Structure 1
Amino acid sequence: MARRSITQLGENESINEVYVASSKQLRPNRQGNLYLQMQLSDKSGAVNAMMWNANEGIYKRFEDGDYIRIQGTSQFYNGAMQVIVSHIEKVDARDVDESDFMQVSPQRMDDMLKELAEHLRAIRNIHLRNLAECFLIDEALIARFRKSPAAVKNHHAYEGGLLEHVVNLIKVGKAIVPFYPQVDEDLLVMGILFHDMGKVDELSTDKGLAYSDEGQLIGHLVSGVSIVDRLTKEAEKLADEPFPEELALRIKHMVVSHHGKLEYGSPKVPMTAEALALHYIDSLDAHMHGFDKLLADDVNTDSRWTTYSPQFGRKLYKGGGEA
């Protein structure tokens, strides 16, 4: 019998399937009775799940990141799908086909890393190329970067998502540079590489997608600047000469300003041509990916419109059929 993926769930369906558990919490309701709240996911997406009348024993039956078999029923709540769970049991990872849960295959990650290396080694500025080389030879950083998601939700929220996001942005960035000669292509590529690099420390995939303690306390912008500082020191050793101070400042400015607005978490707004270009192509890639995901996950299968999206602040038009 074929497995039932998250995005295939319809209203009021009986479910007996294996998913990855994350973000579990044991909480009291208004009457003081405990219930279990968690997220279930597979490679197609994620859904919130609740188990009423839970207890400490059920809560300790599994950990975030474990495979669990759940029995329950799907339902719509506030325009979104959720699952009401009646039974949970932990499943041995050896009994699971991991390809059902990985959105980006290991081979695809290897291919994207190779493509990224080709872009970085094509950089003409010798200082920036040395910096890129220091990144490429840092095996520990590459290993974390290769697995990191780009977010916990909304866009590229899966292992390999950050790598995919960066490669997409470099290709978009290189495509627009001929129309904007004031933008330095090498500097833009380097800013794209490092703009979300701090997410290797901010986000964790060890127990499902979640924020690490460093992510909660510091955030990826500060962590990203620290990584740039460390690698520029390595580049100085490689070249046996100081790394140009202005180049370092411009890269770090792109990291701290790429959200675009102070209210979006950037301590600085874009003040260079490369920082401005990075902000807009980063937003474009994130929103277009979020658009595709919203349409794929939408529970309004019989409507031309999606449900309301908090990410976009609106419904989105799906089209289809005659007007």
Structure 2
Amino acid sequence: MDRTDAKANGSSDQGFQTLDHHAQVCQIAVATESPQSNRIFGARHAPLRQWNRLTVTSTAPRIAINQLADGQTVAQAFRVADKQIRVNRQGGKYLFLRLADRTGKIVGMMWNVDERVADSFDRADYIHTEGRTQVHNGALQVIVTQLERMDPSEVDPADFEQFDAEQSQRLMARLTEQLGSIEDPQLSRLAQCYLNDGDLMNQLASAAAAVVHHHAFPGGLLRHTVDLMELADFVGKRYESIDRDLLLLGAFLHDLGKMHELSSDGELSYTDRGQMVGHIVIGIQMLGDKIQQIDTPETPFPVDLRYQLEHLIVSHHGEFEYGSPRLPSTMEAVALHHIDNLDAKISSFASVIEQDVSADPHWTNYNPSIGRKLWKK
């Protein structure tokens, strides 16, 4: 987790919000309602009088989110990653959406919305969306004029499945290899205790590392963990003052609590436990459970090693203001914080470049969330 994530908890849309005064612009569409189901599918008509069901007639092939361009007409299915009814400074309501497919997410905005529109669908539902793309604050978004909830049977699951099973298998094999390379006998048997937990490892294979920002996709936590272990292996071998085995196991442990902090059931979101406790505390609890399983009178687990592992987990955010209960105070903790931040930042910045819609072949649009443009090569 990087510093940006440490500040964000759940529904942050930093860098993507449309300013409230823009909501004064009325994108009015013919509002529609199914007389059979009373579901609302369009923006509020002024005045609200009669509703007719939206008829989906488009036969054009679906355009992936990462292929959308500025000024493009949209009439296709998306999955709802988030929805919020917001109020502008004039008291008008508008609908903020995060629309998703297998290639990424895009913000959708529907102005002057009737609350029944939002009530007609839920997060993780599929909706047929009509509107037009535009760039705001350097990011592409969809101005939605009409929408309708879809039955899952109406969409192709392959358009929305983000989990890469083959990549997950490769990463899990590499993670197992790295943990198997730990030579310290005490740390090795603790690592093996985690590997022997089939339920935990299966959950790790498909868990996300974040709701937004870096590695925010199913399997993202495993990718982040393995990348961090590769960096830990290099740093631990490069610097004699660092215990390579301790740093490597710390890289494996540091974000495991996210498996219980985040839910990937439908769309990524925070669990109740995640909101109330957070992944750092959860990770400490998970570590305690595993140590208890191997700590016997015949083979006690060293208390000093336990404290050092706990310190790696609680200090990996690096600063109090970013959620660390303690500042890094061991060489391994200092190293873990910096390689964690490095991996998260590179992932986040790469996403900015991949999702950029600037016509400039060399520079992205200015991105307010990072306060700069990025060179695209």
- The answer for unaligned runs of 5 or more in structure 2 is 1-59
Alignment of 1:84-123 (within 5 A): 84-123=143-182
Alignment match, 1:255:
313
Q: Decide whether the 8 Å contact of 2:65 with 2:101 is kept in 1.
A: yes
* Residue 281 (structure 1) aligned to one of 339, 346, 357: 339
1:48 correspondence with 2:134: no
Which residue identity is paired with 1:132? A
d(CA) in 1 for partners of 2:368, 2:209? 18
d(CA) in 2 for partners of 1:94, 1:114? 35
1:16-36, CA deviations, whole angstroms, 9 ceiling, x for partnerless residues? 122220221123344444322
- The answer for unaligned runs of 5 or more in structure 1 is none
d(CA) in 2 for partners of 1:96, 1:187? 47
Alignment of 1:129-148 (within 5 A): 129-148=188-207
Q: Percent identity?
A: 40
1:206-265, CA deviations, whole angstroms, 9 ceiling, x for partnerless residues? 24122222222221111111111111112226x953211111111111111111122221
Alignment of 1:181-260 (within 5 A): 181-236=240-295, 241-260=299-318
1:137-176, CA deviations, whole angstroms, 9 ceiling, x for partnerless residues? 2233223322211112221110000000111111122123
1:305 correspondence with 2:363: yes
Which residue identity is paired with 1:259? H
How much has 1:7 moved relative to structure 2? 2.0
How much has 1:310 moved relative to structure 2? 4.4
1:318 correspondence with 2:376: yes
Distance 1:273 1:298, change over 3 A: same
SS of aligned partner of 2:295: helix
Which residue identity is paired with 1:204? S
Which one has a bigger Cα radius of gyration?
2
Which residue identity is paired with 1:54? V
Moved more, 265-274 or 91-100: 91-100
Distance 1:186 1:102, change over 3 A: farther
Q: Decide whether the 8 Å contact of 2:137 with 2:366 is kept in 1.
A: no
**CA-atom RMSD in angstroms:** 2.0
Which residue identity is paired with 1:251? L
Q: Decide whether the 8 Å contact of 1:24 with 1:38 is kept in 2.
A: yes
Alignment match, 1:179:
238
SS of aligned partner of 1:228: helix
* Residue 59 (structure 1) aligned to one of 92, 102, 118: 118
Which residue identity is paired with 2:125? D
Distance 1:127 1:310, change over 3 A: farther
Distance 1:66 1:240, change over 3 A: farther
Q: Decide whether the 8 Å contact of 1:199 with 1:220 is kept in 2.
A: yes
Q: Decide whether the 8 Å contact of 2:328 with 2:337 is kept in 1.
A: yes
Alignment of 1:14-29 (within 5 A): 14-29=73-88
d(CA) in 2 for partners of 1:244, 1:230? 15
SS of aligned partner of 1:197: coil
Structure with the larger helix share: 1
d(CA) in 2 for partners of 1:292, 1:97? 28
Alignment match, 1:10:
69
Which residue identity is paired with 1:173? A
How much has 1:95 moved relative to structure 2? 4.0
d(CA) in 2 for partners of 1:95, 1:139? 35
* Residue 323 (structure 2) aligned to one of 257, 265, 281: 265
d(CA) in 2 for partners of 1:243, 1:150? 29
Q: How many residues align?
A: 318
d(CA) in 2 for partners of 1:273, 1:149? 28
Q: Decide whether the 8 Å contact of 1:63 with 1:207 is kept in 2.
A: no
1:39 correspondence with 2:101: no
Distance 1:146 1:252, change over 3 A: same
d(CA) in 2 for partners of 1:92, 1:52? 25
1:90-116, CA deviations, whole angstroms, 9 ceiling, x for partnerless residues? 233344333333344122212211221
Alignment match, 1:128:
187
SS of aligned partner of 1:70: strand
d(CA) in 1 for partners of 2:148, 2:366? 34
